[in-house]
Structure 1
């Protein structure tokens, strides 16, 4: 009976690994071009605000 338990452990490991690999390799929904461009525009606006709202440029001092 103990030998059967030791054989069951690798079988459970293989099943778990197979399920994880299937989940990790699934096709994910990709963002469309419009969503990506809108996100990039928000990023650019945020970077422009942070660079103008902070301390003056040390090169100008």
Structure 2
């Protein structure tokens, strides 16, 4: 009976490794899509802010940044 217990340890380890492997290999593209969309909005906002700032500096005649 003790030898059976020692054989169950690697079996449980293999099952645990299989569960962990399937969890680690899961498809996580859903999060990437929303992150990329957020980054695109951020870039658009920064481009708009830079364009607005450049316009304001041109009208004020200031050379300071």
- Please say whether Structure 1 and Structure 2 have the same fold, judged by a TM-score greater than 0.5: yes
5+ long unaligned stretches in structure 2: 47-65
Cα gap change, 1:35 to 1:22, in 2 (>3 Å): same
TM-score (norm 1): 0.57
Asked which structure has the greater RCO (Cα within 8 Å, sep 6+), the reply is: 2
Deviations 1:7-58 (A, max 9, x none): 000000000000000000000123254333124557x5xxxxxxxxxxxxxx
| More helix per residue | 2
TM-score (norm 2): 0.53
Cα gap change, 1:36 to 1:13, in 2 (>3 Å): same
5+ long unaligned stretches in structure 1: 45-61
Larger Rg: 2
Q: Which residue of 2 aligns with 1:19?
A: 19
Alpha-carbon distance in 1 for matches of 2:43, 2:12: 45
Matched pairs, number: 45
